[in-house]
Structure formats: C-alpha cells, structure tokens
Amino acid sequence: MPGSGSLSFDTDDLQLNDAAFAVYTTGGTTCPNLVLTRVATSCSSGGSLNGGNMPVTNVTGLTPGTTVYIRVWRDNAGANDGTFVICARNPQTPSGCWYTLRLTDSAGDGWNGGFVTLCINGSCTNYTVYGSLSTVVFTANVGDLVTLSYTAVGGFQNQVSWTLSASTGANIWPGPISNPPSSGPQHSMTVNAACNVPPAPISDCIGHQVVCNNQNISYNPSNTGNVVDLTSTNDGCLAGEQQGAWFVFTTNAAGNIAFTLNVAVGTDYDFAVWGPFAPGAPPCPPPGAPIRCNWSATTGPTGLSLSSFTPSVGAVGSPFSQWITAGANEMYILYVDNWSRNGISFSLTWQNTPTNILDCVLPVELVEFDAYGTGAVAQLKWTTASEENLSHFVIERSADGTRFDALNQVQAAGERSLVTRYETIDQSPMRGVNHYRLRMVDDDGSVQHSKVIPVRFGWSPASVQVFPNPAGSSLWVAAHDVDEGWQWRILDASGRMVRAGRAMAESAQFEIPLTIESGAYVLEVLDQNGATMGQARFVKD
C-alpha cells in the first residue's frame, strides 16, 4: 500500500471475459502458509469501464507499506478461462504538474505490439494496450520537454487512439489520431508554469466566441469539448452535443435577430439559442430550454428567418426557425452543432434589423500580429493600441488551420490607452505549416481572435550514412547537418522499434552496439524534439 493507504484496482478482459476478485491482507505468515483476511467491501464481480463483466474496486484506510493480495476467479461457469489484465494504482492526486495519457483500442483486443513512447527530457518509456484501455498518469517539472511518438505494429490500426490531458481533464493533445495512425512523432510540449492547462475550447460554453459588429463567422467543429454542457434539462429539441461551437452576442438596441448557417447540401447542421440574459459573463451551461431550436433533418442551410413563424423544429420540419424580437442590452447564447460529424465547415451570416444591432466595444485594439520562423523556433509578436478590461492572450497553433490548440498564455498589461508590445516564442514548431493566431480574453471571459498567420518549418534531410553495412557487433552512424543534438532508433522489418538512444549535441559520428538479431533494419535519425530528419537501411549479420 502506498502512503495514501488507498489503492484502486481495475481489470480488462482478454481471454477471461467474466471475472470477480477480492482483496486480502495477511497477518504476517509467509508463503505458502498465508493467513489472509478479506478487506471489507473489496469483493467485486463487474462494473469495469473495460468490460461490464470485469471487476473494479477501491480499498482505503489500510496501513501504508502493507502487502495486499488479490484473488481473481472466473465468475460464470459459461465464461472463458485464460489471460486478463489487472491494474493497481494510487488514486491520490499527484503534486505539481501532472498529466494523463489515455490509450484505447476500440475492438478491445489490444494494440498487438504497437506502442506510444513517452519521453521526459529524453528519458523514454513505452506504453501499450492489452485489452481496451490503458491509463498512464505521470508528473513533470516546469521546463521539462515532454514528447509523444507512436510505433505501429500489426494490422487494425484504425482501432488505435489516445489522448493527452491536463490535470483539469482538458485535452492537451486530442485523439483519435489520424485513421489509421502513422508511426513517428505525434506531440511535444515544454511544461510551463500553468502546467499546460489549455483554455476552454470553443466547443465548450465557457470557451465561447463573442460576436461583435455583425461579423461573419466560419468554423469547422470537430468535437464536443471537455465539458458536457447539454443534457435533457437544457438541450430543447437537440439530442445533446455532437460536434459544435458556442457563441455569445449582446444587443445594443432593440430590433430583430436573424441569421443563416450556410452549409453544403448533404450536411445536417442544427442549432439552439438561449436568452435573453443580462449583459456580462454568460451562464454556462445554459439554464433551461432554449428559446429557439432547430433539429430539422433537412440538409443544407439553416438558421433564424424573418419569414418563419415556428420557434422550434424537430426532425420533420423546416430548417429555419422564427427570428428573435430583441430589446436593447440583451445577451444571447448560440450553439451550432454538426449532426453529420463529417468535417464540413459552416459560415454564419446575419440578416439583423437594424444591421448594427450587435455593435459592441471589443476589449482590445490589435494593431499588428506577426509570426515568422527564426532558426528552429517561431517568433510571435503583436502590438495593441489600447486595452480595456483585457485579461490575457492565448497563443494558439494549428496544423490544418481549423483545429487550434493552446501553446501558452501571456498576461495582458490591463487598462492602457498606450501602445503595448508583446512577444513570445514557440520552441517546438511542428514540421510543415504551423498556423498561429491570438486568442484575446476579456475579464468577463469573452473572446476575440486575431487573423491566422501560417509559418512553414522543415528540415533538410540529414545526410545519414551507416558503416559497415552489413554490420557486425556495432554500427557507426554519420549524420551531417545536425547541430542541435539528435536521437536515433532502430526499427525492424515490421516497423517495431527494437533499440533507441541519444547522441551528444553536435556529435557528427556515433557508434551503436548491435545487440540485436540478424536481419534487415532501418535506422532513423530524429532531432531533439523527436521529428524524423533522415534514415538509412542496414543489415545485421
């Protein structure tokens, strides 16, 4: 038992698919004549998230250092015998910065040898899935470099996925990954003072975007966020959340509110509007049912129309609901949901009367935002002419220009009418095009985004040479154009990593002892962030 005096036990089915277990302590007698006492309430015969017929339980209040024993048996005469997975972990919340790596297999039969490599400052550990789920909780210190890479082995790669989340449960690196996933580096980050906790995404109500000045909006929702905002108590005609985005707008005068969600025919978008509320921070999640709701199964454009008279629409009905007659200084919450979940974006345009009904004062006047590459890092600079009730800036990065992840956060200067200049660095840009933007957050949680700036990063392939080839007891590697230190790994014919290591910074040659079986292999050279720079094939005699 750890110092907390508590342990959580969980199981996952493999061949054994219907089991039970109980936890025991001993009076001190050693094997094979143990005197065991069952821990009260520790007997379990089901309830695991990995399989309803597999056991899970928590034991608490035991003396730290006590040895405990777990007895596992087949619980049903008709069930299968055989192998299974059991896990024991300390449920106590770690101190400092901690993260959760959650690995899943949708078929529940494991990754067949594939694995994720988690490295903290170059110290690496491989993790895999034997059943349907593996959960890894790890800690890191501020300034540590954390990298994730994946090695694919075997078939059915479309069943593989994983996520990396912060201590709040918010995703830092989202899954599922590309389907099927590709081997190689997947994510890297430097642990910051905020423990890399990302700001709430637009797919959560608290991460909403504030709409001002009749602005048009284009977006491609990709997930439901980290918070369950919609339930049967407040989703109205909607069926919960599918893939959506949240928006908030406030009127400055009385008038009519109408909009069109422009969507290609064949894609089904739905929406709901809640309000009116007093101006300020919106209530998240929305309280009660929406005042406008449309769940029409008709694909293509939808929205609020000045010619429709039906406030809410179910699956059968017009894709347009009635406009909103609004008073001055009223706040509304809008949720736009992609029922089709097909990766098709929408664009929102307004048909309000008067057209300036949504005019508002933004918390910041952004004069300039620029991003460019400098060596192996990205330099980001921006300037504001004035700030009012501005809380902070979030630097966001995207690989595709659609789904953005938070990199770091910069505190705003606050109430200023003077020119203020800011800058920060992305120490680990992705290979290829990096799309950067600023997220400007007001004290009340409202958000404004800057324009998106693309910056391309690439490394000229390192000239990797290996000798002798075929190799005997060792292999010499020469990698040119590598001036920041590098890593290496050896893959067998199936793509499985059999050895890995690091070379000293600015080392042009390195000897690798070959304690591997005879056969054909690939040597990969990676930079210090885990990005592949070059490779060479060799044969081990």
More confidently predicted of 384 and 52: 384
Backbone angles phi, psi at 356, to 5 degrees: -100, 25
CB atoms within 10 A of CB 499: 16
When mean pLDDT is compared across 304-318, 361-375, 512-526, the lowest value belongs to: 361-375
| Helix/strand number for the chain, H first, E second | 0, 43
DSSP 194-244: TTTPPPPPTTSGGGPEEP-TT--EEE------SS----TTT-TTS-S-SSE
Strands (E), 353-493: 364-374, 377-387, 390-398, 405-411, 420-426, 432-442, 447-449, 453-457, 464-467, 474-479, 486-491
Kindly state the average pLDDT of the residues 81-87: 90
Predicted local confidence at residue 12, as pLDDT: 86
| Closest to 404 (Cα-Cα) out of 216, 182, 209, 227 | 209
| Closest to 238 (Cα-Cα) out of 274, 200, 281, 202 | 274
Per-residue confidence band for 526, with pLDDT thresholds at 50, 70 and 90: confident
Kindly state the average pLDDT of the residues 259-277: 96
Sign for the pseudo-dihedral over CA of 279, 282, 286, 290: positive
pLDDT above 70 covers a percentage of the chain that reads 89
More confidently predicted of 374 and 305: 305
Q: Find out whether the peptide bond into 468 is cis, omega within 30 degrees of 0.
A: yes
Kindly state the average pLDDT of the residues 166-175: 75
Per-residue confidence band for 505, with pLDDT thresholds at 50, 70 and 90: very low
When mean pLDDT is compared across 54-58, 93-97, 223-227, 477-481, the lowest value belongs to: 477-481
Cα separation, 128 vs 138, whole angstroms:
15
Return mean pLDDT, the chain. Answer: 85
More confidently predicted of 5 and 482: 5
Cα 185 from chain centroid? 15
Backbone angles phi, psi at 3, to 5 degrees: -60, -20
Predicted local confidence at residue 47, as pLDDT: 84
DSSP state of 458: -
Cα separation, 170 vs 206, whole angstroms:
12
Paired with 305 in beta bridges are 322
Per-residue confidence band for 395, with pLDDT thresholds at 50, 70 and 90: very high
Predicted local confidence at residue 28, as pLDDT: 65
* Overall pTM > 0.95: no
Torsion of CA 361, 364, 370, 376, to 10 degrees: -130
> 14 near 83, Cβ under 8 Å?
yes
Cα separation, 104 vs 129, whole angstroms:
7
Backbone angles phi, psi at 83, to 5 degrees: -75, 155
For the ranges 152-166, 418-432, 468-482, 485-499, the one whose mean pLDDT is highest: 152-166
Cα separation, 106 vs 136, whole angstroms:
18
Is pLDDT of 502 > 80? no
How do strand 145-151 and strand 84-89 relate by DSSP bridges? unpaired
Predicted local confidence at residue 21, as pLDDT: 95
> 257 near 323, Cβ under 8 Å?
yes
The 10s digit of each residue's pLDDT in 101-120 is: 989 888 888 898 899 999 99
Cα separation, 425 vs 427, whole angstroms:
6
Predicted local confidence at residue 175, as pLDDT: 52
How do strand 320-322 and strand 302-305 relate by DSSP bridges? parallel
Predicted local confidence at residue 408, as pLDDT: 84
C-alpha distances in Å from residue 128, one per residue of 62, 115, 151, 485: 31, 5, 10, 28
CB atoms within 10 A of CB 518: 10
Cα separation, 213 vs 333, whole angstroms:
16
Cα separation, 475 vs 463, whole angstroms:
16
Predicted local confidence at residue 362, as pLDDT: 62
Is pLDDT of 460 > 50? no
